[in-house]
């Protein structure tokens, strides 16, 4: 059996940077170290940091008091956080260490610029994702988050005010197919809205590393019988990779670790590709490759 490990394997630059900052913070044993929520969407990597002393603050700020933040350092994860939460941490005596990925920062700035210039902002992405929540926090939640064309129609039907200017950005890790279909959806599926709008401005906030990972996953899916996607269950970019491979017609399985892989799936398979999300350590992919090679 031929096994191909994706070239884009291992942490993306933003996650690498966040992990490096976590190492630095953990290097000062005199000060308690926290991260706000899991620093990356990979449970095994987070557990390792916790073993070394990193404590995870709950997402709900009402629960922060009990953690004792005075004098501590709190890492802001690569997805960023809303400014009012960063301020609240400072007010509680913590020093924030900002590991927000520069690409995510660009998306936050793009959102602020569009809203500041009077555009009605659409964010293509998942409303519950921490990155989207952080972007919303930068624009006082003055934006509509869309994941499906259906939501566009529903939003339009509930509109009472005139919309002249529309701004569009995306969650950085959204896949190109979803982004394209929603931008097209704005024009094709809600023609009444387009009749009213005089200006549409799109700022490309998609992450280049993610796009490259997705393009490679698509190529591998087209040329292999089976694709194993490795990544955290809570990682949306890993889920986007799975969807791309499945849409390309490849048999696709998603696992968090090699131990979850059902090797009976390999029956009759001659070419298998292993790809991983942006927060999946390269070793996890290597472990899957070794398991495949031994089976």
Catalytic residues: 131
Least spacing, CB of residue 242 vs ligand SF4, in Å: 16
In terms of CB distance, is 45 or 278 closer to ligand SF4?
278
Applying CB under 6 A, which part among 29-37, 109-117, 207-215, 257-265 lies near ligand SF4? 207-215
Among 9, 25, 54, 104, binds ligand SF4 (CB under 6 A): 104
Least spacing, CB of residue 66 vs ligand SF4, in Å: 30
In terms of CB distance, is 11 or 122 closer to ligand SF4?
11
Mask 40-79, x = binds ligand SF4 (CB under 6 A)? --------------------------------------x-
Q: Which of 103, 111, 104, 105 is nearest to 143 (CA)?
A: 111
Least spacing, CB of residue 107 vs ligand SF4, in Å: 8
Applying CB under 6 A, which part among 69-77, 96-104, 188-196, 241-249 lies near ligand SF4? 96-104
Number of residues that bind ligand SF4 (CB under 6 A): 15
Q: Which of 132, 167, 130 is nearest to 147 (CA)?
A: 132
Dmax of the chain from CA atoms? 63
Q: Which of 55, 58, 44, 59 is nearest to 11 (CA)?
A: 44
Paired with 121 in beta bridges are 143, 167
Q: Does 278 bind ligand SF4 (CB under 6 A)?
A: yes
- Residues 18, 213: Cα–Cα separation, whole Å: 19
Q: What are phi and psi of 165, to 5 degrees?
A: -125, 125
Paired with 143 in beta bridges are 121
- Residues 103, 78: Cα–Cα separation, whole Å: 9
- The residue whose two tokens read 């129609």 is 153
Q: What SS3 state is found at 80?
A: coil
Least spacing, CB of residue 72 vs ligand SF4, in Å: 24
175 touches 244 (CB < 8 A): yes
Provide the phi-psi class of 53: left if phi over 0, else alpha when psi is between -120 and 50, else beta.
Answer: left
Among 81, 121, 207, 218, binds ligand SF4 (CB under 6 A): 207
Q: Does 3 bind ligand SF4 (CB under 6 A)?
A: no
Site for ligand SF4 in 213-252 (CB under 6 A): 237
Least spacing, CB of residue 234 vs ligand SF4, in Å: 14
Site for ligand SF4 in 166-205 (CB under 6 A): 172-173
- Residues 215, 230: Cα–Cα separation, whole Å: 16
Tell me which residues touch ligand SF4 (CB under 6 A): 12-15, 78, 101, 103-104, 172-173, 207, 209-210, 237, 278
């Amino acid at each position: 059996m031929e096994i191909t490990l994706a070239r884009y394997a291992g942490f993306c630059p933003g996650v690498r940077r966040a992990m490096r900052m976590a190492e630095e913070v953990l290097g000062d044993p005199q000060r308690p170290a926290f991260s706000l929520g899991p620093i990356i969407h990979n449970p095994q990597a987070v557990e390792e940091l916790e073993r070394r002393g990193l404590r995870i603050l709950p997402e709900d700020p009402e629960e922060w008091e009990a953690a004792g933040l005075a004098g501590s350092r709190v890492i802001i994860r690569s997805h960023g956080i809303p400014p009012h939460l960063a301020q609240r941490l400072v007010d509680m005596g913590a020093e924030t260490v900002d590991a927000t990925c520069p690409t995510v920062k660009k998306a936050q700035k793009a959102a602020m610029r569009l809203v500041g210039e009077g555009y009605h902002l659409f964010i293509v992405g998942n409303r519950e994702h921490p990155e989207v929540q952080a972007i919303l926090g930068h624009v006082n939640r003055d934006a509509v988050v869309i994941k499906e064309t259906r939501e566009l129609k529903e939003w339009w039907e509930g509109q009472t005010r005139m919309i002249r200017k529309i701004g569009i950005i995306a969650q950085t890790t959204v896949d190109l197919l979803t982004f394209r279909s929603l931008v097209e959806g704005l024009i094709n599926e809600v023609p009444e809205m387009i009749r009213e709008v005089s200006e549409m401005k799109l700022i490309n906030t998609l992450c280049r590393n993610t796009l490259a990972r997705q393009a490679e996953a698509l190529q591998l899916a087209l040329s292999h019988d089976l694709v194993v996607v490795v990544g955290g269950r809570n990682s949306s970019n890993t889920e986007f990779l799975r969807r791309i491979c499945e849409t390309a017609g490849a048999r696709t399985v998603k696992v968090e670790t090699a131990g979850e892989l059902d090797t009976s799936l390999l029956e009759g398979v001659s070419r298998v590709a292993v790809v991983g999300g942006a927060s999946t350590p390269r070793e996890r992919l290597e472990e899957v490759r070794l398991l495949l090679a031994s089976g």
